[in-house]
Amino acid sequence: MKIYTVFGILGLGVMMGCAQNGDLELEGGLYIKGSGPHTYLVIEDQKSHKSYKIQNAKGFNLLKRQKEVVRLKAKLVKKAVGPGFPAVVEVVEVK
Residue 18 has a pLDDT of 46
Phi/psi at 76 (5° precision): -70, 125
Q: Is residue 11 part of a domain?
A: no
Q: How many domains does the chain have?
A: 1
The reply to whether the predicted model has a pTM over 0.95 is no
Residue 10 has a pLDDT of 59
Q: Is residue 15 part of a domain?
A: no
Chain segment 55-72, per-residue pLDDT in tens:
998 889 999 999 899 999
Domain span at residue 88 reads: 22-94
Encode the chain in three state secondary structure. Answer: CHHHHHHHHHHHHHHHHHHCCCEEEEEEEEEEECCCCCCEEEEEECCCCCEEEECCCHHHCHHHHCCCEEEEEEEEEECCCECCECEEEEEEEEC
Q: Is residue 73 part of a domain?
A: yes
Q: Is residue 12 part of a domain?
A: no
